[in-house]
Amino acid sequence: MREGSLEAPTRHIIDWTDPDFLNAEKIDEEMRRVFDVCHGCRRCFNLCDSFPKLFDLVDASSTGELDAVESIAFAPVVEACTLCDMCFMTKCPYVPPHEFNLDFPHLMLRYRAAEFQKGSVSAASKELAKVDRNGKVATTFSGIVNWAAKNTVTRSVAEHVFDIHKKASVPKYAGHTFVRQAKKNPLTVNIDAPAFGRKVVIYATCFANYNNPDLGMAARAVLAHNGVESEVVYPGCCGMPSLEQGDIAAVAKAAKHVAAELRPWIEKGYEVVSLIPSCSLMLKSEWPLILPNDENISLLKEATHDISQYIIKLSKEVGLASGLKSLGQNITLHIACHSRAQNIGNKAAEMLRLIPDTEIQVIERCSGHGGVWGMMKDNFEVALKVGKPVVRQALKNNNHLVLSECPLAADHIIQGIEQVYNNETSFTSAHPIEIFAKSYGLV
């Protein structure tokens, strides 16, 4: 037996249709096997709250070993996992192909899937996961919804009904979706750009479509300036909120629908660009593991790029259009966990470093947010605690522009900074493509 591995990690198919996948005894057996290895290693102690909770359970037991820990005590360990994948991708020396065969995040997913089947997920959580229904309603009544998000009375009600912490930063909703705005505002493609003739279909993602269409419009502008024709589509959410709850069947349904809608574009020669790294990770990694025999998903996996990944691809293959100018300020860039989990390198930093006379200071550490997880009443304070190292580094950098490809992470970091300054701060956040568009003078 060898210690650790220098080989690239590989992931096994998520065999969620196998009856044993949801078998409580087999899940408990695998949890104990994996937790025993984790207890003996402890390299992940500082990644998130799951591992400290696990190690505290073991240390407080009568024997100081896992055998004295009751299985019912495992629930808080699972609940603390944000499915960020950082233990699998960056820390664990025992991931496949190592013989210990550890995949901690997907084991947490398996446990949650069993809990979901038992009906243990609250009705409020299930309603929050209905992103497209919620987004359609919220954009229609965006003025009222955004007012309610800032009102102390309505936030207290939301905390009681939906368990969303009354102090947690929540995204605003746009009055018009990204898909609608894109249709109303056609762009002229720069025929003199080196990449002229290339075509992409932008998978809008629920966040850009309902919450921040400006992100999508900035991406379209950069692509058009670089000669790339773009179409905007949004067949539906990628299913990440459902994955977090263990509703794998809902994820599979979403994956089949979206992949089928995108396939005709790919067959017409369009590459796929996703605007949010969590969505890109679903298309590239989670969907193929959940539905490994779906031809549409396999085709989509090979055609999909993060927006910054695609811009860097253009720069290396044909070059970018001229016109980038300094913004007169340096930038702190947080690398989102789901960007890192794609194993494509730091494309956002590569892209931003193309802006003249601009220093990019990178933070590669979890913000602590974890999607909806960090907004919840029971998790908000923990999320801020996990994100403190990122906040400290951002403050040390003293760049008042803080970027992240995960908009929720960026807002969470700003909220952490505001706590230090008693809610008074001149720090602002944005998506890297928005700043790249600004450097071009496009927004």
- Each domain of the chain, given as residue ranges in start order, spans 19-118, 331-439
Say whether 381 sits in a helix, a strand or coil: helix
Measured distance CA(145)–CA(139) in Å, rounded:
8
**What 3-state DSSP class applies to 376?**
strand
DSSP type of residue 18: S
Q: What is the pLDDT of residue 45?
A: 85
Alpha helices (runs of H) in 282-366, residue ranges in sequence order: 287-290, 295-303, 307-317, 337-340, 347-352
pLDDT at 96 over 70: yes
pLDDT in the model for residue 124: 86
pTM above 0.85, yes or no: yes
**Phi-psi map region of 173: left, alpha, beta (phi>0 left; psi -120 to 50 alpha):** beta
Using one digit for the tens of pLDDT, what is the confidence trace for 212-259? Answer: 999 999 999 999 999 999 999 999 999 999 999 999 999 999 999 999
pLDDT higher than 80, residue 5: no
**Fold for the domain defined by 331-439:** Rossmann fold (3.40.50)
Q: Residues 6 or more apart from 167 whose CB is under 8 A from it? A: 155, 380
pLDDT band at 423 (very low <50, low <70, confident <90, very high): low
Tens digit of each residue's pLDDT (9 = 90 or more) over 260-285: 999 999 999 999 999 999 999 999 99
Q: What's the pLDDT score for residue 1?
A: 47
Q: What is the pLDDT, as a whole number, of residue 91?
A: 83
Rounded alpha-carbon distances, angstroms, from residue 174 to 73, 131, 141, 144, 260 = 42, 14, 9, 11, 27
Highest-pLDDT range among 220-229, 400-409, 417-426: 220-229
Instruction: Classify 399 as helix, strand or coil.
Output: coil
User: pLDDT of 152-167, one tens digit each?
Assistant: 999 999 999 999 999 9
State the average pLDDT for the chain: 93
Q: Return the structure tokens found at 319.
A: 């070059």
